[in-house]
Amino acid sequence: MISTIKQGDYFQPIDDLKAPIHIIGVGAIGSTLATMLARMGVQELNIYDIDQVEMKNVCNQEYFDTHIGLEKVDAIYEMLSFINPGIKVKINREGWKPGTRLSGYVFMCVDNIDLRRQIVEDNIYNKYIKAMFDFRMRLTDAQHYAADFKNLDYLLKTMQFTHEEAKAETPVSACGTDLNVITTVRTICSLGLSNFINFVKENKLKKMIIVDLKEFMIDAF
């Protein structure tokens, strides 16, 4: 089991986490969140993805050149096991599908706003959800949205556009573009994960965090 002694009282998953974690999509955002959570001592993760690792993924995702051609869920499982040998990972290689039972904390990291909206709509009355976390980014700018179970309708209000509209003109699309860099990925992941920890520890949650690395701007609301 990985040692979390350096984290002090800030976050001790064995003591602090009382519900499961689901990461839907393990691309740039999802793979980064998964490895960060593993390093922080999280002992169980549920991961969902249908894609394989491609050469273009290595520059902004957590994968290595040796992972090219592997299913992302298998590649990330290997990495998580190296980081934290005691971790238990439930692999869902068919991705998320309507009716999939979710509970606890849900990180939406898929590259399609329509699918994100469907995930929220499918769980809007799911009392076993504690909070949902959404991440969207472009090249050097990104947004993070979050809501607890009582306020999931807020997430829906941020999704009133289609995937095609996102690709065409949304200031920060729901992965409507293939362009993003590792600095943007890790910045928004760090902020979103800090938001998650604050919610777990103190029930405090920022509804929206905006990042523009080109302008060195970060706002939280």
List pLDDT tens digits, range 163-179: 776 666 554 444 444 56
Q: Is residue 196 part of a domain?
A: yes
Q: Is the pLDDT of residue 180 over 80?
A: no
Residue 3 is assigned to a structural domain of this protein: no
Instruction: Examine residue 7 and state whether it is found in any structural domain, yes or no.
Output: no
User: Rounded CA gap, 203 and 181, in Å?
Assistant: 31
Question: For residue 42, is pLDDT > 90?
Answer: yes
43: domain range? 18-220
Sequence-distant (≥ 6) Cβ neighbours of residue 97 within 8 angstroms = none
What would the two tokens of residue 38 be?
Answer: 């593993």
Quick check: is 183 in a domain? yes
- CATH for 24: 3.40.50.720
- What pLDDT is recorded for position 163? 73
Mean pLDDT across 87-106: 96
The count of domains in the chain is: 1
Q: In what order do the strands lie in the sheet with 141-148?
A: 88-92, 44-48, 21-24, 104-108, 129-137, 141-148, 208-212, 217-220
pTM comes to 0.93
5 lies in a domain?
A: no
Considering the chain, what is the average pLDDT of its residues?
Answer: 92
pLDDT at position 1 is 76
In a domain, 12, yes or no: no
Judge residue 180's burial from the number of C-beta atoms within 10 Å of its C-beta, 0-12 exposed, 13-18 middle, 19 or more buried.
Answer: buried
Query: What average pLDDT does this structure show over 18-38?
Result: 97
What's the pLDDT tens digit per position in 54-96? 999 999 999 999 999 999 999 999 999 999 999 999 999 999 9
Determine, yes or no, domain membership for 112.
yes
pLDDT at res. 20: 98
Residue 185 lies inside a defined structural domain of this protein? yes
